[in-house]
Amino acid sequence: MSKTAIIIGGGVAGMETAGQLNRLGIEVVLIEKQASLGGHLKNWDRLFPDRRESQEVFDYLEKGMNDGISLYLNATISDIREAGGKFTVILEDGRELSSDALVLATGYDLFDARKKEEYGFGIYDNVITSAELEEFFRNNKQKNLFEGVQSKRVGIVHCVGSRDEKVGNLYCSKLCCVTGVKQAIEIRELMPDAEIFCFYMDLRMFDRHFEEMYYEAQEKWGIRFIRGRLSEAAENPDHTILVKVEDTLTGLPLKMKVDLLILLVGFVPSPETKRLAGMLGLKEGDDRFLCPSDEHLLPNSTDHPGVFLAGTLKGPASIAATIVDARAAALQVAEYLVNGER
Amino acid sequence: MKSFGYTITKDRQIDYDANDRRLIEYVEGIEPSIRICMECGSCSATCTAGHFTDFSIRRLHTLLQRGETLHLRKEIEKCMLCGKCQLVCPRGVNLRNLILIIHQALDKLHHDL
């Protein structure tokens, strides 16, 4: 009899884990709370660092969703039970699904920028988040971003909701830096005359091609970088935004007017992850993301036999890294189902 | 009027909107390599002039980027054009040329700096 795995979460990690397990001959059930698959990937226009269309990645993941996978959309889990090494997942509508292994791939949420009240998101018209900008790129490809706004200067704020103990997030979200640089270049392409500034503490261009992208942003696109964390943003009567920052490289406070301020919002653990982790007794770290049993050697296993983790519920990760992680998770699950090893 | 000895302290904040950026635009136009500075400070660390005076070519470059040009003429006179800054720069910014072009620009733009 073939073994069954239930994957909870139909974003990048869930889709790839499901596809891989299915290809390995395991029966897969995929549960997604929303009406469609793809998670955050569906909100991206182009991906860093090569700016390929996010749709291409989605199309690949979707191809893995063949008939062998039982898909439950709009499905919320009300309870998870366990008996004799078997899991029973109970959905809100009463349906019961059973399996030999569980994979949590419930992802992350974006930081709610309203919590950084001093930046004025949700209060001032011309303060938006990086996610909103991405959505704009996705939906209005041909149009000028600032039609009728006469935008000449754009500020991009790094580390919004990350490396900030005041909002409870001590960790670095890792991918905001490269997202900001990517978006700066994309704004430049739309508005060749604009002045574009990134306000950063340090640029964490850690992955392959990232540093080169930073270099290109300076050399080819003339993006300007000011080291300093924005202290506040205030709206002028004409709806432009006055920003204040210490230019820490000159040691002087600096103020400037921008027409548009973009906040690079980071990753936060999702409440749904926390709820499910509570049901299964999984441990979370100081950063509130879930912890595998061994970060080096068993990055997809948990202390709970038969329960596995995939993707950004363990912390900020790029789409490329998430896909790699999902494949590792699939292999770990397959090994468990075949050999009983976790 | 009776003087109580109080004066108005000048704001040391960089007012980017008020600053004159003609100089940096001129310099960048001739020497675009100055755009790629990543503010590492290698140049200033090796600078001979910087060992004996408060001259910092890294800081001068950053201030120039912000349109802060006060004291610039006096500052660049401290540079001896030895070129060590350029030798150590990991990104190959042509710093010697930066100084030379600033000289040129100050004359050309008739800046009263």
pLDDT per residue as tens digits for the range B82-113: 999 999 999 999 999 999 999 999 888 765 55
Q: Which residue of B has its CA nearest to A223?
A: B35
Residue among A36, A86, A82 at smallest CA distance from A61:
A36
Q: With respect to residue B27, please indicate whether it lies within any of the assigned structural domains.
A: no
pTM of the model as a whole: 0.94
Nearest to A39 by CA among A23, A70, A19, A62: A62
Work out the pLDDT band at A11, boundaries 50, 70, 90.
very high
Are the Cβ atoms of A250 and B14 closer than 8 angstroms? yes
Instruction: Compare all CA atoms of chain B with the CA of A256 and give the residue at the minimum distance.
Output: B16
Is residue B99 in some structural domain?
yes
User: Dihedral of CA B85/B91/B97/B101: which sign?
Assistant: negative
Q: Which residue type occupies A103? A: V
pLDDT of A155 higher than 90: yes
Query: pLDDT, tens digit, for every residue of A180-201?
Result: 999 999 999 988 889 999 999 9
Task: Decide if B4 is inside a domain.
Answer: no
Write out chain A residues lying below 8 Å of B36, CB-based. 215, 218-219
Which structural domain, as residue segments, surrounds residue B49? 41-108
pLDDT of residue A148: 54
Cβ separation A215–B13 shorter than 8 A? no
Which residue(s) pair with A246 in the sheet? A253
Whether B5 is covered by a domain: the verdict is no
Q: For residue A281, what pLDDT is reported? A: 95
Per-residue pLDDT, averaged over A6-33, amounts to: 97
Residue B13 resides in a domain: no
**Range of lowest pLDDT (A252-266, B38-52, B54-68, B97-111):** B97-111
**Cα(A169)–Cα(A179) distance, integer angstroms:** 19
Taking an 8 Å cut-off on Cβ atoms, the answer to whether B36 and A215 are in contact is yes
Rounded CA gap, A246 and A255, in Å? Answer: 8
Measured between CA atoms, the residue of chain A closest to residue B28 is: A222
What's the pLDDT at A339?
86
- The pLDDT, as a whole number, for residue A36 is 97
A256 vs B17, B32, B68: nearest CB: B17
Average pLDDT for residues A173-185, to the nearest whole number?
98
Other Cβ atoms closer than 10 A to B21: 16
The pairs formed by A230-236 with CB atoms below 8 angstroms and a separation of 24 or more are A230/A119, A230/A155, A230/A157, A230/A199, A231/A118, A232/A118, A232/A119, A233/A118, A233/A119, A233/A120, A233/A124, A233/A127, A233/A261, A234/A120, A235/A120, A235/A123, A235/A124, A235/A125, A235/A126
- Which domains can be identified in chain A, with CATH numbers? 4-107+270-339 (3.50.50.60), 113-267 (3.50.50.60)
> Is residue A83 within 8 angstroms of chain B, CB to CB?
no
Residue B26 lies in a domain: no
Q: Is B2 on the interface with A (CB under 8 A)?
A: no
| 8 A C-beta contact, residue A68 and residue A27 | yes
B15 touches chain A (CB under 8 A): yes
CB-based contact A155:A161 (threshold 8 Å):
no
Q: Residue B91 falls within a domain, yes or no?
A: yes
**Cβ of B18: how many Cβ atoms within 10 Å?**
9
Task: Read off the pLDDT of each residue in A153-171 and give the average, rounded to a whole number.
Answer: 97
Q: What confidence tens digit (pLDDT) does each residue in A298-335 have? A: 999 999 999 999 999 999 999 999 999 999 999 999 99
Residue of B nearest to A203 (CA): B38
Quote the pLDDT of residue A67. 83
Above 90 in pLDDT, residue A150? no
Query: For chain B, how many structural domains are there in total?
Result: 1
pLDDT at A143: 61
State the Cα–Cα distance between residues A328 and A20, nearest whole angstrom: 10
Rounded average pLDDT over A274-294: 96
Cβ pair A250:B15 closer than 8 A: no
- Between positions 208 and 247 of A, the ones with CB within 8 A of B are 214-215, 218-219, 222, 224-225, 227, 247
Confirm whether B6 is domain-assigned.
no
> Chain B residues with CB inside 8 Å of A224's CB?
65
